[in-house]
C-alpha cells in the first residue's frame, strides 16, 4: 500500500502581458511599474533596424520589409521617414520618458509632418512647438525669428 505525499509551498499568481496569469513560488513581489517605452521611440528604433536590414542586404528592399512585416509599403515609408529628422530630434525621440498608461504625450502622427520638411532649423521649431503643446506651456520658438 502506497501512501500519498503532500507538499506545501507558498505560491502567488501575477498578471503578465496580455492578461496571462503566471504562477510563481514564494511571496508576491510588488515591483514598481517602470512604464512603457513610447511608441514613437520604438518606431524610431525599428526604422534604424530596417535600414540596417536593407543596407546589409538581408532583405532586398523596403517593399520586402513591408511584405515580411505584414504592413503596407506606405506604412513602412512613414516609419522610415523618421530617419529624415534632424539628428538631435531623433536622439530626443529615443530618449523620451516612459509612459505610465494612457496615450503617449508625443505620438508618431504628430511627428509625421516634421519629417516632410527638409530644413532642420524648421524641423527644430516644429519639434519645439509639439513639445510645448504637449507639456501645456507655450513654446519659445514661436516668437523666434530664426
| 67 in a structural domain | yes
- Predicted confidence at residue 142, as pLDDT, reads 44
| 126 in a structural domain | yes
| 17 in a structural domain | no
pLDDT digit of tens for each residue in the chain (146 aa)? 667 888 788 877 777 777 777 777 777 666 666 788 999 999 999 999 999 999 999 999 999 999 999 999 999 999 999 999 999 999 999 999 998 877 888 999 999 999 999 999 999 999 999 999 887 755 554 444 44
pTM exceeds 0.85, yes or no: no
- Predicted confidence at residue 146, as pLDDT, reads 42
| 82 in a structural domain | yes
Q: Give SS3 for 134.
A: helix
Q: How far apart are CA 96 and CA 105, in angstroms?
A: 10
Number of domains in the chain: 1
With beta carbons less than 8 A apart as the criterion, state whether 40 and 104 touch.
yes
- Predicted confidence at residue 39, as pLDDT, reads 94
| 34 in a structural domain | no
Instruction: Domain of residue 50: give its range.
Output: 39-97+106-141
| 51 in a structural domain | yes
| 28 in a structural domain | no
- Give, to the nearest 10 degrees, the angle between helix 62-69 and helix 73-80: 110
Q: What is the pLDDT of residues 74-93, one digit of tens each?
A: 999 999 999 999 999 999 99
Amino acid at each position: 500500500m502506497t501512501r500519498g505525499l503532500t507538499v506545501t509551498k507558498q505560491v502567488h499568481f501575477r498578471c503578465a502581458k496580455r492578461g496571462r496569469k503566471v504562477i510563481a513560488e514564494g511571496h508576491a513581489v510588488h515591483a514598481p511599474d517602470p512604464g512603457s517605452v513610447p511608441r514613437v521611440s520604438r518606431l524610431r528604433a525599428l526604422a534604424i533596424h530596417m535600414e540596417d536590414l536593407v543596407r546589409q542586404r538581408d532583405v532586398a528592399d523596403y517593399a520586402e520589409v513591408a511584405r515580411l512585416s505584414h504592413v503596407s509599403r506606405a506604412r513602412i515609408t512613414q516609419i522610415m521617414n523618421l530617419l529624415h529628422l534632424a539628428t538631435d530630434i531623433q536622439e530626443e525621440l529615443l530618449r523620451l520618458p516612459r509612459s505610465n498608461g494612457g496615450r503617449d504625450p508625443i505620438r508618431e502622427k504628430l511627428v509625421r509632418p516634421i519629417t516632410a520638411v527638409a530644413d532642420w532649423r524648421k524641423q527644430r521649431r516644429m519639434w519645439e512647438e509639439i513639445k510645448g503643446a504637449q507639456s501645456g506651456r507655450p513654446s519659445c520658438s514661436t516668437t523666434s525669428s530664426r
